[in-house]
Structure 1
Amino acid sequence: MLHGYGAGLGLFYKNFEPLTRKSAWKLYALDLLGMGRSARPSFNIQAKTSEGRVQEVEDWFIDALEEWRIKRGIDKMTLLGHSFGAYMAVCYALKYPGHLEKLILASPVGIPEDKYAWGSSTTKPLTTVQNEVLQTQQETTGHPDSATPGRPPLRVLPRLVGSLWAGNFSPFGFIRLAGPFGPSLVSSWTTRRFSELPANEAKALHNYCYSLFRLPGSGDYALTYILAPGAYARSPLVRRIQGVGRQHIKHDSCSSTPDMYPSDLAPGTMSTKQRETGIPIVFMYGDRDWMDKQGGPDCEVEINATKAKALENATHEELLKENGSAKTIIISNAGHHLYLDNFEEFNRIVQEEMTDVEAREKRLLDKRAPWLRVEGEEIRRLEV
């Protein structure tokens, strides 16, 4: 589980126990590098172009995640990310293929294309940071605005905020500079955002968030490199996500034996190149989410088109191994923090998705029943 921008794994406190009830599942909740309680190294981006800076920032986070996976000895996993964490989960799937059984993206940031002209205007609808600050938990559990179904509310980006954004100023810089007034600044957000929680939980979350926000700046400086003013990604995921589950696999020391078919191999040899045959991708949004919920269906179109193209010339074995799919799920009575606003429904759906992972594994094994792996790494046809 990967948290959102500037947050930490503690915000998943409503999810840990329900998602670990099944003994066969192991849950790892991680603080992203430079956020939460993880190490906070200096954040120095050297690339000179916008594209290069985006790539360098993405690598800064996902290379650390891959290093963690290798050290843990994990070969296959389901990766769930929220908001900024969901964005990085997609980036991870693209750069390090072959290790994901499913990708669950909860209210992901950075999917849609920028729908507004950029020109020289300094005012522009802002749909991430400002909405995150201004939306209350009561609003997320009340009645949605029927006048703009599926679309985030539009608020104007102030000129000062645009200037600070262009200067790569971290939103948490205000809290660090506020000294003794820092807790009051954080309280102005936590009081609104956690207004529906029991008082003791809201207070604990306030203390937790303030303890994170006041720490030295590091990964929080990534935001302005990844998102342009107005909160649209500089490299939108809708342009890239169709590549998830369709990459060539590079096997590392903790990977299992490559799962190849005898017909793919020369006698007595193992293939050095293997392409993924799709993974399930689940988009989740709250029905009161200020994130653009159309991003999920838009990505589904791209993912399904890529799947159809991949299957046009697929071999029989590749057809048997095909595992790609995409769908969008809406969580009722929930906003951007859907895992907290309606944790019961969120937990139930994630449990169902994990059960689906097990069912898919069984179906794939059943389809491949005529094949067996024997004598170490050599693969032979089962004689029937």
Structure 2
Amino acid sequence: MSIFEYTWYLSWIPSRFPYFSCPSKSQRLAEAEGRILSALGIKYLARLIQIPFKNTEISTITVNCESEQPIVKAKYPIVLIHGFGAGVALWGSAIKRLAQFQTVHAFDLPGFGRSSRPKFSSDPETAETEMIDSIEQWRDKMNLEKMNLVGHSFGGYLATSYALKYPKRVENLILADPWGFNEMDPEFAQKLTSRQKNIFWVIQQFNPLAVLRLVGGYGPSLVRRLRPDLALKYSEDVYDYIYLANSRDPTGEEVFKCLSENLGWAKQPMSKRFHELDNTVPVTFIHGERSWIDWRTTRRLFGELEHVESHIMDSAGHHVYADDADKFVQLVIGSLKDGKTGELVPEEVNLEEEIVTPI
């Protein structure tokens, strides 16, 4: 092969196989994130907030309140914690709407998205402590006195764990279809066939999203094939985003695997700890009726507590914030309580009319 042919060959590869080319995955992830948020008309500030834990950088976006005189304004900012395998961009439309009432901060958990990939302990209790202390260090660096904390799925589990340890920093705790609350069915393994047991054994030898990394540049196509509905909620950029967000060193996945039992349950479920939460912290559960999360048990266990509210969105599955962003934001804002009076947002305010037309 001549030098001319070799040079041509090298130039041919990136055009046919873009995931073998520059720019880096980190840069492409940032660009995909930017395209998703910009397509929604979101004006945001993106920063890397460095915290003491292993000099970790937490990728953070901030969207300032869009209205000079909002109808209802919470006293403290709204902070969003994403679920497993996700990132800040997937809050999309919810961020756009929430920012009409208060400044919104969303960050990638350490080990996920654009944040650093520190190594966590392999001990479940220690790993959970490291994760929630990282959240506290991020809050301190952001100079936030208190937060209206919103967590989805795995993020809901971590938000609850954070509130258990740092209740004075949480004005309201809002749990969007949280994972890890119910105990695993003790007869789960007995109900499996031999084939299913073998499949579970193989799955447990790897990190949950190992296949996504194994297929490399075909990752976006795999996500598109598994979740064709995501393009309707976001844009085609979402497939690149999910692949790139999970293509780096999976230290966040390792934490999730460490804390989970057969991936579907937590080793230390919140059903055993939730009653220890300071009852001065108002809690709101927002479940999707069509979700795989067992919200009926959660509601039965905690629905009667005075500081707890529970809402079921019949229009949504697990991703309540994306399946019906208008309804989700209505429930979030309606659940916020004033730090001085402890009262709910006035019922006469029609939040649906104040929320922008869906994009």
Matches for 1:246-265 after TM superposition, within 5 Å: none
For residue 164 of structure 1, the aligned residue among 179, 203, 224 is 203
Residue type matched to 1:98 in 2?
A: K
Alignment-derived partner of residue 194 in structure 1: 230
Instruction: Give yes or no for the alignment of 1:210 onto 2:243.
Output: yes
CA contact (8 A) 2:176 2:286 kept: yes
Structure 2 residue 96 is the aligned partner of structure 1 residue 20: no
Q: In 2, Cα distance between the equivalents of 1:158 and 1:187?
A: 28
Counterpart CA distance in 1 for 2:94 and 2:262 is: 32
Match of 1:184 in 2: 221
Matched, 1:103 2:139: no
Per the alignment, residue 116 of structure 1 pairs with 186
Match of 1:242 among 275, 286, 296: 275
In structure 1, C-alpha distance between the alignment counterparts of 2:121 and 2:302, rounded to whole Å: 35
Pairing 1:334–2:316 present: yes
Instruction: Give the superposition deviation at 1:6.
Output: 1.3
Quote the offset at 1:216 in angstroms. Answer: 2.0
> Residues 17 and 118 from structure 1, CA distance in 2 versus in 1: closer, same or farther, beyond 3 angstroms?
closer
- Relative distance call for 1:292 and 1:119 in structure 2 (3 A) is closer
SS, match of residue 294 in structure 1: helix
Aligned counterpart, 2:85: 6
Q: Call closer, same or farther: CA 1:122–1:330 in 2, change over 3 Å.
A: closer
Cα deviation digits, residues 69-117 of structure 1 (max 9, x gap): 1112222111110000000011111122311111101001111122232
The 2-side partners of 1:363 and 1:182 are apart by 47
Residues 1-384 of structure 1 mapped to structure 2, 5 A cutoff: 1-22=80-101, 25-45=102-122, 53-117=123-187, 123=193, 157=196, 159-165=198-204, 167=205, 169-191=206-228, 193-194=229-230, 196-197=232-233, 201-229=234-262, 231-245=264-278, 278-300=280-302, 304=305, 325-354=307-336, 357-358=337-338, 361-363=340-342
Change (3 A) 1:295 1:60: farther
- 2:220–2:242: 8 Å Cα contact kept in structure 1? no
Aligned AA for 1:351? Answer: I
Q: Read off the aligned partner of 2:147 and give its amino acid letter.
A: M
Structure showing greater radius of gyration is: 1
Deviation, 1:363, is: 4.9
Separation in structure 2 between the aligned mates of residue 43 and residue 178 of structure 1, nearest angstrom: 26
User: What RMSD in Å do the two structures reach over aligned CA positions?
Assistant: 2.3
Quote how far apart the aligned CAs of 1:196 are: 4.2
2:164 aligned counterpart, secondary structure: helix
Cα distance in 1, alignment partners of residues 140 and 217 from structure 2: 42
SS of structure 2 residue aligned to 1:7: coil
In structure 1, give the amino acid aligned to 2:203: L
Decide whether the 8 Å contact of 1:122 with 1:162 is kept in 2: no
Residue 202 of structure 2 aligns with an amino acid whose one-letter code is S
The Cα of 1:224 is off from its aligned counterpart by 2.1
- In structure 1, runs of 5+ residues without a counterpart are 46-52, 125-155, 246-276, 305-323, 365-384
Code of the aligned partner of 1:178: V
Q: Against the structure 1 CA distance between its residues 298 and 157, is the aligned structure 2 distance closer, same or farther, given a 3 Å change threshold? A: farther
Question: How many pairs are equivalent?
Answer: 264
Contact 2:208 2:257 in 1 (8 A): no
In the alignment, the residues of structure 1 paired with residue 139 and residue 297 of structure 2 have an alpha-carbon distance, to the nearest angstrom, of 29
Q: Aligned equivalents of 2:208 and 2:185: distance in 1?
A: 24
Percent of aligned positions that are identical = 30
Structure 2 unaligned residues grouped into runs of 5+: 1-79, 344-359
TM-fit CA distance, 1:121: 7.0
Change (3 A) 1:300 1:172: same
TM-score by length of 2: 0.68
Distance change >3 Å, CA 188–CA 99, structure 1 → 2: same
Per the alignment, in what secondary structure is the counterpart of residue 75 of structure 1? Answer: coil
Contact 1:332–1:342 (CA under 8 A) maintained in structure 2:
no
Q: Distance in 1 between matches of 2:98 and 2:196?
A: 39
Moved segments of 4+, more than 3 Å: 118-124
The structural deviation recorded for 1:213 is: 1.9
Residues 186 and 95 of structure 1: is their aligned pair in 2 closer, same or farther, counting only changes over 3 Å? same
Higher relative contact order (CA 8 A, sep 6+): 1
SS state at 2:287 partner: strand
Q: CA deviation at 1:181?
A: 2.8
- 1:122·1:159 contact (CA, 8 Å) conserved in 2? no
- AA aligned to 1:240 is R
Is the 8 Å Cα contact of residues 286 and 310 (structure 2) preserved in structure 1? yes
